[in-house]
Amino acid sequence: MTDGRTLTFGLFLGFVVVTLAITVWARATTKGADDFYAGGRMFSGARNGVALAGDYMSAASFLGIAGIIALSGYDGFLYSVGFLVAWVLTLLLVEPIRNAGRFTMGDVLARRAPDRAPVRTAAAVSTVTVSVFYLLAQMVGAGALVSLLLGIRAGHRFLGMSAAAARTTTIVAVGVLMICYVMFGGMKATTWVQIIKTVLLTAGAAALTGLVLGRFGFDVSAMLGSAADASGSGAGFLQPGQRYGRDVPGDTYRTVVGKLDFVSLALALVLGTAGLPHIVTRFFAVPDARAARTSVSWAIGLVGVFYLMTLALGFGAAALVGRHAILAQDPSGNTAAPQLARALGEHAAGRVGGDVLLAFIGAVAFATILAVVSGLVLASATSLAHDYFGQVLMLGRPRESQEVAVARFAAFLVGSLAIVLAVVARNLNVAFLVALAFAMAAAANLPAIVLSLFWRRFTPGGAVAGIYGGLVASLVLVVLSPVVSGKVDPVTGENLSLFPKGVDFHLFPLENPGLVSIPIGFLCAVVGTFVTRGKADPARYDDLAVRALTGVGSH
């Protein structure tokens, strides 16, 4: 075990050294705002597409989905489908956004506003809120992961640290590294970190997939059958209903609520992706809208192939590692993929093989987390410096060097905030924050983007109302939902909420707010258009429409 841990640590250290070297190079070549926010817009469509896939494939999708498939079978697959089909909507919106904006979503919205300040402020607030929630989920996850991957249990020590200390150290180390990448290397360094991570992640998943399928003679049906047999649920393992929308016999209300909850999650995934700040920011790292479209095509291909491979990883883990062994390591199944790696390696090359493969997958998981959090910090820093500082505080007339300096400082600020929050929340179950981030992106950002681009009568007041309405609705509904209070495992009586057992103020039955908060976001945008002062300016709409679809005057 110790050898494997040292190897994981060594491989990850290698990744860190290479990426820091890239950061030093990026620092030297990053001069102005275009360089810092958009990597000089010099990335090719394909390269940026690889990075885009990297921004999207978080550890939650790699370890999380593999784990859900390993424990709940088909439902984990059902979950992964939403993450992929969401890209169709993104493909439809990428060119208009790239053409109309400069660095951020706020640029697109502000095109229709004579007074930019309220819209820019709202865009920055939404960007930072969504990013910080997503960051928090990733960083707390990193802390939990290190104890699992390095095999540190209570009472054991690694490099002289106890499990609790290792957890905090990991969160801080991940945070400091992401701040370094973004502060010094801006978009250039972040993009290269994403590219390397995507290559490693895809290679790792492909190696495991090949080994899994090889074990079953490349017969997918045999793999599925073996997974179903080992799961203890038989054929039900390959059918819907193990995890999402479970049928509760004799309780129609809970059955329906469970099913609506999944529809709500699916809605947030499908509509949220195109509004995620770190995805939108990446549209601007290419020379023009055509290249941005190529990026999204590449991302669709890579993300799709990756999720198909998680199918083999998840079912493979169910068949080869087994439910009990997975549950014993981590009740939520996050270690299914690493455990599978070890089992496959051991089968192929004995104990050393197991250690090596586990070490590789563990290092890939850390690289994945590090890359995703960097993208999120960059998106927040860009929006704070460009939308808020540059356009609101400096009235649209900042000095470029000044704005970039503020962006670097904002990266430090947001990164530090995320570290502090993650350390405070390190022992809480915050996995729901990923779904919340998608729901907020769908409820707050998507209405503003879509209506700005395509509705002639839409006003800046509507955009502001839609953003705040969608954000607040999502947040309030989650606070009042069972993920925050009052959810108890019906069998074991174990507390499944954020708040301790006994505290119960939940009023909203669904765990995912999207089903209600996304319509509220759209509704606020429409109502805001009619009730706030100021009419839509047709000249500005014409200007935006022509820019968005043709690229005339784009940056």
User: Closest distance between another protein and the C-beta of residue 538, in Å?
Assistant: 9
Q: Between 113 and 425, whose beta carbon lies closer to another protein?
A: 113
Does residue number 509 form part of the binding site for another protein (CB under 8 A)? no
Q: Enumerate the β-bridge partners of residue 236.
A: none
Q: Between 301 and 509, whose beta carbon lies closer to another protein?
A: 301
Binding residue for another protein, selected from 17, 21, 235, 328, defined by CB under 8 A: 235
Binding residue for another protein, selected from 46, 222, 257, 413, defined by CB under 8 A: 222
Binding residue for another protein, selected from 154, 155, 221, 533, defined by CB under 8 A: 221
Contact criterion met (CB below 8 Å) for 447 and 471: no
Nearest partner of 61 among 345, 320, 309, 321, judged by Cα? 309
Binding residue for another protein, selected from 22, 84, 414, 435, defined by CB under 8 A: 84
Nearest partner of 313 among 347, 338, 350, judged by Cα? 338
In angstroms, the CA 448 to CA 461 distance is 10
Q: Enumerate the β-bridge partners of residue 495.
A: 488
Q: Between 263 and 325, whose beta carbon lies closer to another protein?
A: 263
**CA angle (116, 118, 123) in 5-degree steps:** 90
* x-marked contacts with another protein along 344-383 as a string, rule CB under 8 A: ----------------------------------------
Q: Between 351 and 457, whose beta carbon lies closer to another protein?
A: 457
Does residue number 400 form part of the binding site for another protein (CB under 8 A)? yes
In angstroms, the CA 71 to CA 363 distance is 23
Does residue number 492 form part of the binding site for another protein (CB under 8 A)? no
Nearest partner of 439 among 465, 475, 469, 466, judged by Cα? 475
In angstroms, the CA 132 to CA 122 distance is 15
Which of helix, strand or coil describes residue 402? helix
Phi and psi dihedrals of 30, rounded to 5? -95, 110
Window 276 to 305, contacts with another protein (CB under 8 A) = 290, 293, 296-297, 300-301, 304
The DSSP output letter for 493 is: -
In angstroms, the CA 291 to CA 25 distance is 24
Stretch that binds another protein, among 88-96, 345-353, 365-373, 413-421 (CB under 8 A): 88-96
Binding residue for another protein, selected from 165, 169, 213, 225, defined by CB under 8 A: 225
Q: Between 274 and 520, whose beta carbon lies closer to another protein?
A: 274
- Would you list the DSSP string of 495-537? B-SSSPTT--------S--HHHHHHHHHHHHHHHHHHSSS---
Does residue number 31 form part of the binding site for another protein (CB under 8 A)? no
Does residue number 553 form part of the binding site for another protein (CB under 8 A)? yes
Does residue number 137 form part of the binding site for another protein (CB under 8 A)? no
First to last CA, the chain: 53
Specify the amino acid at residue 442.
A
- Where on the chain is the footprint of another protein (CB under 8 A)? 74, 77-78, 81-82, 84-85, 87-89, 91-92, 95, 111, 220-222, 224-225, 228, 235, 238-241, 244-245, 247, 259, 262-263, 266, 270, 290, 293, 296-297, 300-301, 304, 307-308, 397, 399-400, 454, 539-540, 542-543, 545-547, 549-553, 555
